[in-house]
Structure 1
């Protein structure tokens, strides 16, 4: 029944995604490989396809494009949400978008039906997967060439949906699809039995951290003179939504852009525009680091993104020789993201992330909770903690992030959230780097911790971290 529902859903949506890549799908075991290739138009000798082959050998189960074959656009699979633990009403919001197939190393589409394997070894008990994730995909780093990638897929009954060489992971990252409904935790355990797989993770979902839908008081609260503020020529990467680069606040600010999900239409530009503007905006909505150069990677739509898309954006950011990466999003712990962050930090980049807006009892938010990432919580104009902020030992620093005026996709807006507190910290760090370009990421982190204004219990605490950012004191700090 589940398979019929998928095919029916795909048929209904096929007209919507006319431009997406498509392959004919058939389960007829009597077709030859040439007939299947002709159905999919993949044979090099397309002109040699006989009418019988093009029409499935006259079998009613596989017609040509005009004769009833079911075409499944690549984006169809992206529309299915995580399966509920027990029957629940259908979700009211669409599932988050996933990454497009990489153009750097495109993987061929499956050439025919995939038979679910039997008797596979489990190297470990089926893994319990926490957090939100794409229900029919896994991310795997593979030691070997494209042949090894395909052999693993064939052995385990998986689809190679994308593969590329990741700079920050230092190896090939493969996005495998699970076409037969096996749980992600089971597939991860099966993959662990193959020595060519190095890391195996769910394709986790991450969410932007905006809690609310005029002069920026942040300058005063972080002890930064707005007339002296400058991040001139400091290169900062921002991984976020699309932006309105025609907004006057971003004039001359955006040095480069990258779309990590080009096949997903941009509908919202507010969050990314606000983050960029708070960091380096110009004019009436001046940012904390005017003159900084923003390298903006669009990796979110509808407030959501997947691990695969975010890793693609991070790799692009690393290639831009940036000094700071701003990550105003939160999701579950994922070893691939942790490795990418660790390697980015080893390359000298300062990583700044939102602590999260999910409340005092929420689990740790990542990437903020990884070592080497500056986790930022949000405070208001009176240095009070934003009530919905995450808490925990990973919180590193506090910064203004409640009811601030910022640029947006509609001009300007009042914004609240740890996303925007993270942007304030990224801009402040750009000031430090502008003043002392040789200052290392470790030195900057130590200076921020040593000079923060203590707001909670003495010393570092789970609410405010080390305390409120004091950029004047941090600039004067000596090792």
Structure 2
């Protein structure tokens, strides 16, 4: 019975192939009837033999050959058709696999390229967070423990005394015309503010060597005047300027200050000792021998000292005292290469300075693009400056924000260091000093905004502000 079934299937397959080539419907009907009749007759015959199968098969082949040609041709035709079908399918599969592989490789390469581009930024962000965490550990808290301050007048002080608050000290600020009152944590007025702590925006320096001819830098760093050339200054400014600073101490014995007058007033706590690194570097920009100003006088309120724990910090009260002294000096500009949290009392003192026509410039800070705005740079009226390199790319550690007003060169500057050394320094504090020397030259802030070289996105943005400061365009437009 199995042999009959196989033969039936074989016959059906051959007939199907034949029907694909035949055009005569009578042939199909006649042969199907004939085959079926023979099968029916032989199924009823109990004496069905093996030879009868062969005979039927031979008869079917003869008929097919007579109608369509040799059976081998049919087999070949079927095989060719199947091979073509499978060949086309394999080609399609191969093409699809190639396209899929190419698409995967392209996406993988694009993703790897993006990751490689973002890796330095991520590593730098991690480094910034680690540095910030280390600074916080050094400071322990962002304010002097259990100490509050307030600016009051004489009448308000009398009211406080009558209220029985815990007054620890009262200090007269002659230039500001107010009293700086310090309170303890207990029995203090609700209007008092924490005595917050501030740090200098000074990065780690790379040691440099003094140039043999006094003008060229053998270590690859920019001299301040070379940096100022990007901002339209190609020679030391001949204008006599009074520059105010609030910083750490300046090493006045350094060769950069032999022909530049420097006056300093100390406002650091008694238990702190002077630190000369940052103040000396920043003051270099304002000097005649090493900087960009030919006739400057530098007035430095030394508010940053090294504490017993080793941290170089200044409190809001120290900064207010320094501002009071500088207001009496009447400088053309005050450079604040420092940053910290907002403080209402410090903000009030700065507001008094601004109302009296003192121009204040501050660095935006080196805590990274993800950091909150730092003060006093973020205070309205203060000119906030960020740093760029010679390719006009922003300094990677610079703080961003809508308060950023101008950009200045601040990467790779060769500045003075204690003990007759020089160092290559980066940072927004360096850019702030360079900007202060430019902004001190008497033009309106609006003129500086209009003449700034646009960087980054067109127009004002929170990375570069109005762009790179440029005094040459101001001179050209004013005919000077």
Shift of the 339–92 alpha-carbon distance from structure 1 to 2, 3 Å rule, reads closer
Matches within 5 A, 1:142-181: 142-144=152-154, 148=158, 151=161, 155-156=164-165, 158-165=166-173, 167-168=175-176, 170-178=177-185
Give me the whole-angstrom Cα distance separating, in 1, the residues matched to 2:370 and 2:158: 44
Shift of the 397–92 alpha-carbon distance from structure 1 to 2, 3 Å rule, reads closer
User: Gaps spanning 5+ residues in structure 2: where?
Assistant: 1-132, 206-216, 307-311
2:252 maps to which residue? 245
Q: Does the residue aligned with 2:473 lie in a helix, a strand or coil?
A: helix
Q: Are residue 351 (structure 1) and residue 357 (structure 2) matched?
A: no
How big is each residue's C-alpha offset from its partner over 1:152-177, in whole Å with a ceiling of 9 and x where there is no partner?
6x723x24134223533x42110112
Matches within 5 A, 1:103-122: none
How big is each residue's C-alpha offset from its partner over 1:76-102, in whole Å with a ceiling of 9 and x where there is no partner?
xxxxxxxxxxxx99x86366xxxxxxx
* C-alpha RMSD of the superposition: 2.6
2:138 maps to which residue? 93
- Does the CA-based 8 Å contact 2:362-2:385 persist in structure 1? yes
Structure having the higher helix fraction is: 2
Shift of the 298–149 alpha-carbon distance from structure 1 to 2, 3 Å rule, reads farther
How big is each residue's C-alpha offset from its partner over 1:309-344, in whole Å with a ceiling of 9 and x where there is no partner?
000001100000211101000011112222222221
User: Gaps spanning 5+ residues in structure 1: where?
Assistant: 1-87, 96-130, 193-198, 434-438
From 374, 380, 386, the equivalent of 2:389 is 380
Q: Are residue 202 (structure 1) and residue 200 (structure 2) matched?
A: no
Q: Are residue 289 (structure 1) and residue 293 (structure 2) matched?
A: yes
How big is each residue's C-alpha offset from its partner over 1:388-435, in whole Å with a ceiling of 9 and x where there is no partner?
1000000000001111100112321111111110000111123x23xx
TM-score by length of structure 2 reads: 0.63
Give me the whole-angstrom Cα distance separating, in 2, the residues matched to 1:377 and 1:94: 25
- Does the CA-based 8 Å contact 1:379-1:385 persist in structure 2? yes
How big is each residue's C-alpha offset from its partner over 1:358-411, in whole Å with a ceiling of 9 and x where there is no partner?
011111111111111110000112111000100000000000111110011232
Consecutive aligned runs of 4 or more in structure 1 exceeding 4 Å deviation: none
- Does the CA-based 8 Å contact 2:167-2:181 persist in structure 1? no
Give me the whole-angstrom Cα distance separating, in 1, the residues matched to 2:157 and 2:372: 40
- Does the CA-based 8 Å contact 1:166-1:173 persist in structure 2? no
Q: Does the residue aligned with 2:179 lie in a helix, a strand or coil?
A: strand
1:362 maps to which residue? 371
- Does the CA-based 8 Å contact 1:401-1:418 persist in structure 2? yes
Matches within 5 A, 1:211-290: 211-213=203-205, 214=217, 215-216=222-223, 217-226=226-235, 229-230=236-237, 232-261=239-268, 263-278=270-285, 280-283=286-289, 286-290=290-294
Shift of the 355–92 alpha-carbon distance from structure 1 to 2, 3 Å rule, reads closer
1:390 maps to which residue? 399
- Does the CA-based 8 Å contact 1:230-1:292 persist in structure 2? no
- Displacement after TM superposition at 1:295 (Å): 0.6
1:326 maps to which residue? 335
How many residues align? The count is 323
Give me the whole-angstrom Cα distance separating, in 2, the residues matched to 1:149 and 1:162: 14
Give me the whole-angstrom Cα distance separating, in 1, the residues matched to 2:328 and 2:356: 11
- Does the CA-based 8 Å contact 2:335-2:433 persist in structure 1? yes
Matches within 5 A, 1:68-87: none
- Displacement after TM superposition at 1:262 (Å): 5.8
TM-score by length of structure 1 reads: 0.63
Give me the whole-angstrom Cα distance separating, in 1, the residues matched to 2:238 and 2:284: 13
Larger gyration radius, structure 1 or structure 2: 2
- Displacement after TM superposition at 1:282 (Å): 3.0
- Displacement after TM superposition at 1:243 (Å): 1.2
Give me the whole-angstrom Cα distance separating, in 2, the residues matched to 1:350 and 1:399: 17
